[in-house]
């Protein structure tokens, strides 16, 4: 699938004189008084000074160690300050959060006592993380940020909202709950951010998002961010944005980060555990997220790993929110270093220490590969993504390679055999359908042959696989 540029949308190369399009109903986007530094003109700077942010924001960014803006920050921050509706597409871990975090902090009128901005995210953990980052950026400004999400008592949220907040960061379900109870008023919300926008506008969320947007100001500024923007989502986004500016800093490249190692290990159903445990023992990775297809397989693998004395814990949507919170806290703080997760952890999570992503079950589609592996290699750091691939999944591997324009290298593990004697039953030896014949898939990925065989599927290069 193509995440690439959509020529019909205006691009980000606008001049400093350029104005955002007049909105149809121009009642929106009141701005706070510009800070003295915003009034200064003509500064040429490479750091965050170039945006002429308030001294309070600049001070916070300095403390956060933000020195040079990333590409998406350099392009998107001026655009959002000019009031454009923006579609911001940039690779995972490139600081998209700070684009809107800085903007909202600087522009919101803190003298008013009602929500003026809403940020929507697909998972509770991501909503919390975004709220934390905005709170850190706004540390010296007195901006009040509320996090609104399900799975925890609604009463404290109601109390907080009653006290008056400026920015609400939320998951959609709980926002609707508050709207129905009349405990959240979005009628002054003139700036909306939809993070992980392609996920938020897909079938799972779109009805909720549409209803929520209906409660915000007409003529609002709507900002969409994601590492992936499939074409159908770009088309759909036009319903919610007004002449959006499409800012894609990796427009001619696939969205996947290429500065990490992309690897795979051949497995059969019976050797998946062997492959995983051998890999972990051999490589001793730092912080690792292991992705499983289902909640039950995440539970099962988490359980087995604990028994084997790995510092691991399952993380998925069937756990209580308290449990999810404590697992995430342990992972961030390092008391566990392996998260055995479903795709709940695939989008948005920013844990800089994550050195490895392991696809215990491969993702269903290449877009999910982009997001999963994007949990490592944050903000230009190194990282490794390893996928356990069964013979029947070689087609999927090929799809991922083509979509992401990457080549996955096969990992050789000492003493590891991908297909064991008893797998022959699984493959159906009576029909003669042994793994050798399954290797036709290998060729289909368009690149297997150049690796000269099946790696450690057969040790010693001949005969039947040994146990
Ligand atoms: O949303 P996206 O995947 O693009 O990345 P993020 O979740 O905003 O994470 C970016 C990470 O880089 C965070 O840990 C930021 O604190 C950090 N960072 C940044 O955003 N901008 C900089 N100029 C420097 C660091
Ligand atoms: Mg993000």
- Tell me: the pLDDT tens digits for 53-64? 999 999 999 999
Atom index in ligand 1 nearest the CA of residue 225 equals: 1
Written as six digits, the tokens of 457 are 């599927």
Written as six digits, the tokens of 445 are 């990925």
Residue 156, classified by CB atoms within 10 Å of its CB into exposed (0-12), middle (13-18) or buried (19+), is exposed
Q: What is the mean pLDDT of residues 320-332?
A: 98
Ligand 1 center from residue 77 Cα (angstroms): 14
Q: Please work out whether the CB of residue 96 comes within 6 Å of at least one atom of ligand 1.
A: yes
Q: What pLDDT score does 423 carry?
A: 59
Q: What pLDDT score does 249 carry?
A: 85
Nearest residue by C-alpha to atom 22 in ligand 1: 66
Q: Please work out whether the CB of residue 352 comes within 6 Å of at least one atom of ligand 1.
A: yes
Is the pLDDT score of 341 beyond 80? yes
Q: What pLDDT score does 239 carry?
A: 94
Contact 400/446 with Cβ under 8 angstroms? no
Q: Give residue 253's pLDDT band: very low, low, confident or very high (50, 70, 90).
A: confident
294-298: which pairs have CB atoms within 8 A and are 24 or more residues apart? Answer: 294/342, 295/342, 297/360, 297/361, 298/340, 298/341, 298/342
Q: What pLDDT score does 444 carry?
A: 46
Gap between the Cα atoms of 199 and 211, Å rounded: 16
- pLDDT tens per residue, range 148-183: 999 999 999 999 999 999 999 999 999 999 999 999
Ligand 1 center from residue 381 Cα (angstroms): 11
Fill in the DSSP letter of residue 91: -
Ligand 1 center from residue 5 Cα (angstroms): 23
DSSP for 324-393?
A: HHHHHHHHHHTS--EEEE-GGGTSS---TTEEEEEESS--SSHHHHHHHHTTSSGGG---EEEEEEEGGG
CB under 8 Å to 58, separation ≥6 — which residues?
A: 37, 48, 49
Is the pLDDT score of 425 beyond 80? no
Q: What pLDDT score does 295 carry?
A: 98
Q: Please work out whether the CB of residue 46 comes within 6 Å of at least one atom of ligand 1.
A: no
Residue 182, classified by CB atoms within 10 Å of its CB into exposed (0-12), middle (13-18) or buried (19+), is exposed
- Give, for ligand 1, the residue of 137, 379, 383 to mutate: max count of ligand atoms closer than 8 Å to Cβ: 379
Nearest residue by C-alpha to atom 8 in ligand 1: 95
Share of residues in the chain with pLDDT > 90 (%): 75
Is the pLDDT score of 448 beyond 50? no
Q: Give residue 223's pLDDT band: very low, low, confident or very high (50, 70, 90).
A: very high
Fill in the DSSP letter of residue 35: P
Mean per-residue pLDDT of the chain: 85
Gap between the Cα atoms of 310 and 338, Å rounded: 8
Integer CA distances (angstroms), 409 to 264, 336, 439, in order: 6, 28, 17
**Pairing relationship of beta strands 86-89 and 287-291 according to DSSP bridges:** unpaired
Q: Please work out whether the CB of residue 88 comes within 6 Å of at least one atom of ligand 1.
A: no
- pLDDT tens per residue, range 79-91: 999 999 999 999 9
């Amino acid at each position: 699938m193509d995440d690439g540029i959509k020529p019909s949308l205006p691009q980000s190369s606008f001049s400093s004189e350029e104005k955002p399009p007049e909105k149809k109903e121009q009642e929106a986007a009141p701005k706070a008084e510009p800070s003295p530094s915003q009034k200064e003109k003509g500064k040429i700077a490479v750091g965050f000074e170039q945006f002429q942010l308030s001294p309070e924001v600049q001070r916070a960014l300095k403390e956060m160690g933000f020195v040079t803006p990333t590409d998406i920050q350099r392009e998107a921050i001026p655009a959002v300050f000019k009031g454009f509706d923006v579609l911001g597409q940039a690779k995972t871990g490139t600081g998209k959060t700070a684009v809107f975090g800085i903007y909202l902090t600087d522009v919101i009128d803190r003298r008013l006592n009602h929500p003026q901005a809403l940020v929507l995210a697909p998972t509770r953990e991501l909503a919390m993380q975004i709220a934390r980052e905005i709170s850190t950026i706004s540390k010296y400004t007195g901006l009040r940020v509320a996090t609104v999400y399900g799975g925890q008592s609604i009463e404290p949220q109601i109390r907080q909202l009653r006290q008056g907040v400026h920015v609400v960061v939320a998951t959609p379900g709980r926002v609707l709950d508050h709207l129905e109870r009349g405990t959240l008023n979005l009628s002054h919300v003139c700036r909306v951010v939809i993070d992980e926008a392609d996920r938020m506008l897909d079938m799972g969320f779109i009805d909720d998002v549409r209803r929520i947007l209906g409660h915000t100001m007409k003529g609002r500024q709507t900002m969409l961010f994601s590492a992936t923007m499939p074409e159908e989502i770009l088309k759909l986004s036009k319903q919610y944005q007004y002449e959006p500016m499409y800012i894609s800093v990796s427009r001619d490249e696939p969205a996947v980060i290429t500065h990490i190692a992309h690897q795979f290990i051949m497995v059969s159903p019976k050797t998946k555990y062997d492959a995983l445990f051998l890999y972990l023992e051999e490589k001793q990775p730092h912080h690792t997220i292991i992705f499983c297809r289902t909640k039950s397989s995440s539970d099962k693998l988490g359980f087995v790993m604990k028994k084997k004395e790995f510092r691991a814990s399952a993380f998925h949507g069937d756990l209580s929110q308290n449990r999810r919170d404590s697992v995430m806290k342990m992972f961030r703080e390092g008391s566990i270093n392996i998260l055995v997760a479903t795709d709940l952890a695939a989008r948005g999570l920013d844990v800089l220490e994550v050195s490895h992503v392991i696809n215990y079950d491969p993702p269903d589609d290449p877009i999910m590969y982009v997001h999963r592996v994007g949990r490592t290699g944050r903000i230009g750091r190194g990282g490794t993504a390893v996928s356990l691939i069964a013979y029947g999944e070689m087609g999927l591997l090929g799809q991922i390679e083509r979509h992401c324009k990457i080549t996955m290298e096969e990992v050789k593990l000492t003493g590891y055999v991908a297909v064991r004697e008893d797998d022959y039953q699984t493959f159906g030896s009576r029909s003669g359908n042994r793994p050798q014949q399954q290797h036709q898939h290998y060729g289909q990925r368009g690149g297997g042959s150049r690796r000269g065989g099946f790696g450690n599927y057969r040790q010693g290069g001949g005969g039947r696989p040994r146990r």
